[in-house]
Amino acid sequence: ARMAIEEVEYVKIFGRLGEKTLMGDASAGACCHSGCDNCEWRYSFDIMQSARPKWIPTYRECKFEDGREHVAKWSSLFEGDEPVDKQAFIDGILDLKFEMPLGPSGFLTAKQAVPSQEALEMVFFKLAKGKPTLTPRQMGMRLKKMVPPTMDPTGLMWTDFVCALQEEDEEEEIEELEPIVIN
């Protein structure tokens, strides 16, 4: 059995991958955001902003027809569409600047925020689904799968990120149990 990884270790990774800007539904730009009843865009925004990193975008880059665009920080982990192995992924994450994200309690400085090797390996393991390499397309798809179905699929928030990383551990353990036969 693997050691349980402390939540704070995932904060150190989320704070590197997280962003203050998230591009959502381009059509929502037509909305006045006054919360009008019956507005189809009432809860969708073209661009969302936060004072601290709040989302890991599930897109690598997003472009609106009006020219606005956003490239996710995690895009820098990859060269073009080439896959990365675990070590390249870990090195890439460590190269990203840490900023305390929105969501987790407490506060970490960049000096305190060097993630453990175990946590980095776990994030790679989850995103690569146990395979030796990860492509940018797979990363985007797997991040999107971590977002609950009722939430905006363009951005993964802290609670869902940490739940997804901890959740699958439990599933793996459950699979080892004997099936219960009901007669």
Q: What is the DSSP letter of 40?
A: T
CB-based contacts of 178, cutoff 8 Å, min separation 6: none
E strands in the chain? 21-23, 47-49, 55-57, 61-63, 69-71, 84-85, 133-134, 155-157
For residue range 123-152, list pLDDT tens digits in order. 999 999 999 999 999 999 999 999 998 888
- Give this prediction's pTM: 0.81
Query: Mean pLDDT for each consecutive 10-residue tract of the chain (183 residues)?
Result: 81 97 69 65 69 95 86 96 97 97 93 96 96 97 94 92 78 51 69
H or E element: which one contains 43? none
Write down the H helix ranges in 128-157. Answer: 136-146
Cα atoms found within 13 Å of the Cα of residue 108, Cβ hemisphere only:
25
CB-based contacts of 82, cutoff 8 Å, min separation 6: 135
H or E element: which one contains 101? none
* Among 133, 98, 78, CA closest to 19: 98
In 3-state terms, what secondary structure has residue 136? helix
Contact 110, 97 (CB under 8 A): yes
